Amino acid sequence: MKDMMNQTMKFNVEKENVTEARKIIISVYNALKEKGYNPINQMVGYILSGDPTYITSHKNARTLIRKLERDELLEELLKNYLEN
């Protein structure tokens, strides 16, 4: 049991979900922008709090973003930031 506490856990995400996350992030970003919100601020608020009211319901954005776990959204954002 002690040996397991010293090992690093590995987290894997399936490629299909990452592609889905990217599409959702872009769609939500565009919907927020169209409604006049600062998309970055609103999405950060949602990711930090989990409160869906940070995301507009315009173009079904609120429903879309709730299809994914917040850790999936963070992974996609971090991956895109580091690779680009």
- Provide the residue-wise pLDDT of the chain in tens; the chain has 84 residues: 566 677 877 777 666 555 788 999 999 999 999 999 999 999 999 999 999 999 999 999 999 999 999 999 999 999 989 988
CA–CA–CA angle 58, 25, 44 (5° rounding): 90
The enclosing H or E element of 49 equals helix 39-49
Answer whether 0.85 is exceeded by the pTM. no
- Cα–Cα distance for residue pair 9/62, rounded to 1 Å: 32
Spatial contact of 23 and 80, defined as CB atoms under 8 Å apart:
no
In the three-class reduction of DSSP (H, G, I as helix; E, B as strand; rest coil), residue 18 is classed as helix
Are residues 84 and 29 in contact, defined by beta-carbon separation less than 8 angstroms? no
